[in-house]
Amino acid sequence: MKYLKYQQLKGESKPYYVFLGILLAIILIGMGATYHMEHNGHWVTGMNNHVVWGMPHVFAIFLIVAASGALNIASISSAFGKTAYKPLSRLSGALAMSLLIGGLTILLLDLGRPDRLIVAMTEFNFTSIFTWNIFLYNGFLAIVAVYLWTMLDRPYNKYTKAAGITAFIWRLILTMGTGSIFGMLISREAYDTALLAPMFIIMSFSFGLAVYMLVLMASYKYSDRELGDFVITKLRKLLGVFIAAVLFMVIIYHMTYLYSAEHRDVSLFVLRNGGAYTTLFWWGQIILGSLIPLLLIYVPAFAANRNMTAVAAILVILGAFAQLYILIIGGQAYPVELFRGYEVSSSFMDGQLIEYAPSLYEVLLGVAGVAISLFAVTFSLKLFHFLPISLADEVTNPHHAK
């Protein structure tokens, strides 16, 4: 591989500032929606006493999980010594930090009382996974910042491998911790399984890479820089492996639940009896989010078309939202079995399927978190040397025919 030269985005064009302006407008609208929810109370949302994690949590968990996966590109380079991914490492770290900041912003604003974060950061209950996540999220930002520093400052390049290995281990623990939030909730039949920890790790690989590919392709297209087929082909094939791995974990999850008498009903709820959740599972998560992207990636007629690769990444992201919606919302909407073998009813809707419809305010808050992530990574490309001047095949492919 030839010596790579990195350069910031000039960020002087009108489209660049228009894009930042649109993102800023979305953020301000989201802040207005947040103020409305906090000022009037959460009764203006679709949430209730049963569904306490609404649509903002779907956005937040997606961004947090994708942040871990976005760093995977840098980890492949530094921790595993794959030099083909080295030119992509800086953007990988920057995007990972940006996605996590956006996700944590949503969580902070969806607490009901954001000032309670002070309590969470000063009084620790180490028997709670939420306490551990305070350290995991802050530690991730600090470690990735150091990791980027070792890549940007040439005298410290010798520490990049050590920083990369540390970041790789930390991101696995972080994603496992996020999955464990749900896996350790034994009161909810949809959550009560250790499978969710490794499933979230695999999900992060797929979700994060899909976001990374779209950001990379957009950055080079709109900055008039060359992005060769060698890089796109490697990322496309890697995405296909991760999509298949997520699909495999979903199959194992439901096979395990169907085998267990305790969890069989909740699996059948998703697969067959869940109404909108069942439709979202088969058409959103499985067909649009998994099978069609696999076809676009591996069928030669589609694989040669770069636009189809972008479509596949977009579908993976949409499938990711469907998967998280089913897990987070559907898991709360499914009736809690208070007394096994008995039917329970009360004025609090015990024993009934809980209805939930996200309000516009919740969606605006979630979209604002995405906008914060995109604003952060877009602006950082103007400030730092994160992008190589060229990723043409003759630069990145050691076997390129001259």
pLDDT at 401 over 60: no
- Residue 2 maps to a domain: no
CA atoms of 184 and 127, how far apart (whole Å): 11
- Residue 283 maps to a domain: yes
How far lies 220's CA from each of 181, 260, 389, in Å?
A: 37, 49, 9
Select the more confidently predicted residue: 41 or 64: 64
- Residue 398 maps to a domain: no
Give me the torsion for CA of 297, 300, 304, 307, rounded to 10°.
Answer: -40
174, 132 Cβ separation under 8 angstroms = no
CA atoms of 172 and 153, how far apart (whole Å): 26
The whole-number average pLDDT for the span 304-333 is 94
CA atoms of 92 and 380, how far apart (whole Å): 12
Q: What is the pLDDT of residues 219-263, one digit of tens each?
A: 999 988 999 999 999 999 999 999 999 999 999 999 998 988 778
| Domain carrying residue 210 | 12-336+363-384
What local confidence, expressed as pLDDT, does residue 172 receive? 93
For CA atoms 144, 6, 76, 314, the dihedral sign is positive
- Residue 156 maps to a domain: yes
- Residue 399 maps to a domain: no
For CA atoms 253, 258, 263, 266, the dihedral sign is positive
- Residue 356 maps to a domain: no
Q: Largest alpha-carbon pair distance within the chain?
A: 75
Number of other residues whose CB lies within 10 A of the CB of residue 184: 15
Domain count, the chain: 1
- Residue 213 maps to a domain: yes
- Residue 349 maps to a domain: no
Query: In CATH, what number is assigned to the domain containing residue 138?
Result: 1.20.1630.10
CA atoms of 294 and 292, how far apart (whole Å): 5
